[in-house]
Structure 1
Amino acid sequence: MRLFFLINVSCLLLYVNAQAQSPPSVQIPPTDSIKTWMKQFNVSALGIGTIEQGKLKRVMVLGELKAGVAAPYNTIFDVASLTKSVTTQLTLRLVSEGKWSLDEPLYKYWVDPDVKNDPRHKQLTTRHILSHQSGFVNWRWMHKTKKLTFDFAPGTKVGYSGEGFHYLMRALEKKFKKSFQTLCDQYIFQPYKMADSHLTWRKGVDENRFAIGHNQAGKPYKLEKNQKASAADDLLTTIEDFGRFGVNVLAQKGVSQDAFREMVRPQGKVKPGVAFGLGWIVFDNLPNGEYALFNAGGDKGVAAVIVLLPKSKRGLIIMANSEQRAIVMKMIVKSLDVGRTIMSRF
């Protein structure tokens, strides 16, 4: 009897210990609450995906594409700067195969005509670009000269830049003699089974499933069909596709341990607990020893975010066809145990 009792106690302790070590679930708020927020913030379509134990656990899409037309499970969203995460993963796969270097100067493959007479172009590397230390402003049209310009030497400061990612795209295309779309198809979309993901409005994009962007008042913008691939912006994708992408990032599919380590290592400090890794914002020193990989997209009629927690293999993806980012922040705070800490650092 005593032996039986001890065995039962031991089993109970093992179960309790296992439960204590299990990370909290990604808790999506009740559907009624989400619908209330959508109405409050004039969001017509919202997609949510969760990753747990390294697997895509849930995909949910709420709202309408237009009056009387429900947004389907496979609604296509423009996710703006989440495109940069795809560019990063592509680049790190090439690095892992020994076909590309993070620290080789890019001038060997591409020099933008605007900076050809600035000697600093010979310093620029992939690492500088992915960690947002290129020296460029976000877009050249934002610069007072209206040209691509080095505002500081690469690697000396942090400055968010989409232009940097475009520069990297040109270098990759020159080196491999392939279009950026072809490279993404080969290394990301096909192996990760992202059949509904496109960099342009090419053949195969189903307009009837696209969530047209809306302004803050809830009025739709005119649909603009981008015909040029961008390494920084305007990826078209679904919650399920980008959830698969997140799963593959966490699984390090096609990415070496060394490359992954460089990706998650804080390389460009923004503020305490917040830094740019390679292609991701890294939030470290989170509760329960977690750290987060974060990327957000915000354009006209677009709000999107992905949060990955590599230690516990969890993730959250949110996409909205609205400029109302408040609903995205609410979802992060309510769904993740580390969400409030992440949001407090902005």
Structure 2
Amino acid sequence: MNALRTWILCGLLASGCATAPAPREESPAPSTAALDAEAARAMAATGAKGLAIAVIDDGRVVATRAYGARNAKGEPLQTDTVMYGASITKTLFAYVVGQLADEKRIDLDASIARYLDKPLPDYPDEDRYSTWSNLAGDERWRAITPRILLTHSSGFANFGFLEPDGRLRIHFAPGSRYAYSGDGLILMQFVLERGLGLDVGAEMQKRVFDRFGMRNTSMVWRPDFARNLADGWKAEGGVEPHDERSRVRAAGSMDTTLDDLSRFAAALVRGEGLSPQAFAEMTRPQLAITTPSQFPTLQDELPPEQRRKDLAAGLGVVVFDGPQGRGFFKTGHNDSTGNVLVCLPRGRRCVLILSNDVRAEAAFPQLVRFVLGEAGVPWDWEYGSDMTFWDGR
């Protein structure tokens, strides 16, 4: 039995599996001293060099804490240290699309063809986007809508360049099933920029970063970030320098800080900036998830009787049902980054974890449970059943 199943079945009890703990519903957020102690235990157990945690309760940021180092020099990681946002960028981008839908500037259920002045495959290939020309001869692209792109059901691989021949293609009828795709978000960006004439970087700045006082957040690298910047540690312990991203990429180019991103998380769980209808759309089950894990992105679906009933795609988030009701979450990951945001709308509670050491991911289930109580986050689906988690003992 792997560590994840042990964690689920035993409830992280040092005494064994005899009694599962009662759900910690609407309980107070842990004290900073308790959070500090648990973070120290997590870092010692996983070997993670850097970790930052924010706690949101009743839609307010009640704690932001940072631990360890931001680089190989041992300079301290702080709550205002610039870190890589990775795929949590997708959630902020989906929030902006929700605002545009509120303003009737885009219809979530209209074909993307409505917004383009020529067929998608006729656009020349550009390094900034994907290779839409590879879709020539496949008219299924016309069935793609913004909702389909934001629920990761376009039919694309994660990225076209990861295909065996490097060519983007549609693998299944758009909208019919979930398969995580960064290129799907890049296509949504393309529709906004080429179809509506928007600058996605400027829209993110105005609608999110400026609105919530996120002064150290950007979709592209800024030279002033260098004064307090996090490098990263990979699984084998090697250091990876921070990547200075020069292009706006809706799939994951954002640099941010714990202080900044926690402000957005608190606003999101309050529904601020979205109509009640738009917030409900973003955080409701839109499309059942039918695969045993999120990665690899293109894998066989489970038989109907084996599929989870508590797991679905929202818009830019994954939605789950657990002991405390409905929740939503989003992770971000690369070779040296591990991030997660988990929110429970009932009580407007969230925990945000940013780490510049990918080894910290092994502690995420325990740290989230320590802050929120048992929420039912589908960790085995997110990371795969072979992932070994620290169980808190």
Indicate whether the TM-score tops 0.5. Answer: yes
Q: Which amino acid aligns with 2:99?
A: R
Cα-Cα RMSD:
2.0
Picking from 46, 55, 62, the partner of 2:51 is: 46
CA distance in 1, matches of 2:45, 2:103: 48
Displacement of 1:344 in angstroms is 6.3
Cα distance, 1:215–1:22 mapped onto 2, change above 3 Å: closer
Distance 1:297 1:194 in 2: 19
Q: How far apart, in 1, do the equivalents of 2:25 and 2:373 lie? A: 13
Structure-2 residue corresponding to 1:292: 327
Q: 1:269 to 1:302 in 2, by over 3 A?
A: same
* Other-structure match for 1:10: none
Contact 1:41 1:216 in 2 (8 A): no
In structure 2, what is the equivalent of residue 102 of structure 1? Answer: 108
Match of 1:31 in 2: 36
The equivalent residue for 1:334 is 370
Partner of 1:316: 351
Q: TM-score, normalised by structure 1?
A: 0.88
Residues 291 and 26 of structure 1: CA distance in aligned 2, closer, same or farther (over 3 Å): farther
Query: Counterpart in 2 of 1:75?
Result: 81
Q: How does 1:6-17 map to 2 (within 5 A)?
A: none
Please give the per-residue CA displacement for 1:153-208, whole angstroms capped at 9, x wherever unaligned: 1111111111100000011112332321111112111112211111111344x113
The question of 1:123 aligning with 2:143 is answered yes
Name 2:267's counterpart in structure 1: 248
- Residue 230, structure 1, aligned to residue 230, structure 2: no
Residue 317 of structure 1: how far off its partner (Å): 0.1
After alignment, is 323-332 or 305-314 more displaced? Answer: 323-332
* 1:269 matched to 2:272: no
- Structure 1 runs (4+) greater than 6 angstroms displaced: none
State the shift of 1:47 in Å: 0.7
Residue 7 (structure 1) aligns with: none
Look up the equivalent residue of 1:45 and give its one-letter code: G
Cα shift at 1:222? 3.2
Report the equivalent of 1:214.
Answer: 233
Secondary structure at 1:291's aligned position in 2?
Answer: strand
Figure out how many residues of one structure are paired with residues of the other and give that number.
323
In structure 2, give the amino acid aligned to 1:326. Answer: A
Would you say the 8 A contact 2:69–2:76 is kept in 1?
Answer: yes
Counterpart check, 1:306 vs 2:341: yes
Between the aligned partners of 1:341 and 1:184, the Cα distance in structure 2 is: 28
Is 1:159 aligned to 2:195, yes or no?
no
Residues 70 and 232, structure 2, Cα contact 8 Å, conserved in 1? no
- Structure 2 residue runs without a partner (length 5+): 1-23, 121-131, 290-307, 383-393
Cα distance, 1:139–1:60 mapped onto 2, change above 3 Å: same
AA at the equivalent of 2:372? L
Alpha-carbon shift at residue 106 of structure 1 (Å): 1.0
Q: Deviations over 1:116-148 (max 9, x none)?
A: 431011110000011111111111122223111
String of CA shifts for 1:66-125, please: whole Å, max 9, x gaps.
Answer: 334212231111121101001100000111111111011112334222214310111100
Paired residue for 1:57?
Answer: 62
Amino acid at match of 2:112: L
User: Counterparts of 1:320 and 1:248 in 2: how far apart (Å)?
Assistant: 22
Decide whether aligned partners of structure 1 residues 75 and 113 sit closer, same or farther in structure 2, where only a CA change above 3 A counts.
Answer: same
Partners of 1:344 and 1:287 in 2: how far apart?
17
Cα distance per residue 1:273-293 (max 9 Å; x no partner): 111011110012x224x2111
Q: Matched residues in 2 for 1:185 and 1:78: separation?
A: 16
Deviation at 1:249, TM superposition (A): 1.1
Matches of 1:272 and 1:345, distance apart in 2: 13
Q: Distance in 2 between matches of 1:116 and 1:171?
A: 17
Aligned mates of 1:216, 1:343 — CA distance in 2: 19
Cα distance in 1 between the residues matched to 2:327 and 2:98: 18
SS in 2 for 1:182: helix
Query: Alignment partner of 1:232: what SS?
Result: coil
Conserved 8 A contact 1:333-1:343: no
- Tell me the alpha carbon deviations over residues 301-327 of structure 1, each in whole angstroms, 9 at most, x when there is no partner: 000000111121101000001121102
The CA distance in 2 between the partners of 1:338 and 1:167, in whole Å, is 36
Check the 8 A contact 2:235/2:335 in 1, yes or no. no
User: How many Å separate the matches in 2 of 1:276 and 1:169?
Assistant: 19
**Residues in 2 aligned to 1:343 and 1:331: alpha-carbon distance in whole angstroms:** 12
2:158 counterpart (115, 131, 138): 138
Residue number in structure 1 paired with 2:97: 91
1:219 Cα deviation (Å)?
2.2
Q: Are the counterparts in 1 of residues 147 and 315 from structure 2 also a CA contact under 8 Å? A: yes
Q: In the alignment, which residue of structure 2 is the partner of 1:257? A: 276
CA contact (8 A) 1:42 1:216 kept: no
Return the index of the structure with the highest Cα Rg.
1
